[in-house]
Copies of this chain bind each other. A is one copy, B any other.
């Protein structure tokens, strides 16, 4: 495990160096098929990390955001989101992050959230406590939804009205402590105990694979909206709760509407 964690840390170092080079400089913005933006920084990080892994571990798979996946033969696969929160990166707001996960048979074993401008890094690994910049990260106690702080990246991520309504029902449950924006950074803050719930939809495997060991290793609950384990095959309806004792309350609210 230590070898994999070291490799993931090196990948995050490489990504951060590239991202800092482009941050708050003028660059072109392209739009992908789903109309989400992509920049030269996203692409350069992904190809650089892919080449790094191909060289270091030629039998592993590689799944990024921007290019075709590489099937490996080892059963291990590196899952990378070069810049999660490209919109924040584009406007020069340091709340995006590079996500790096190592999965074995589609289940995350190692995860990193790296914010290269603030030099903040969360590292999670199965069976180990999560670290934030080398120190223990712990979710906080909060089993009373009235006192919970809830976050989601954008209201437009909820495709169906029912899901949007569900988000607002959760919002009501938690008493006006809803923070928009933030992408992966909010899961890091949840692992560090300043956010209690993150509720999101339409995430891709590269958006959530890294989050799983980080949230779990910090003592939190993370699953799909039904409470089932997230794997690379999951639909991207993701709920993270800092205090597992709060999860049953949240689950009841979510279950009220059809999935």
Contact = CB atoms under 8 A, between A and B. Distances in A.
A24 interface: yes
A43 interface: no
A195 interface: yes
Contacts of A178: 87, 154, 156
Contacts of A92: 189, 192, 194-195
A40 B92 CA distance: 29
Interface in A117-163: 118, 140, 147, 149, 151, 153-156
B179 A91 contact: yes
- Number of this chain's copies in the assembly equals 2
Contact of A189 (B93, B179, B185, B192): B93
Given A94-B94, A155-B155, A179 B36 contact: no
A143 to B, nearest CB: 16
Contacts of A147: 29
B180 A154 contact: yes
Contacts of A31: 175-176
A72 interface: no
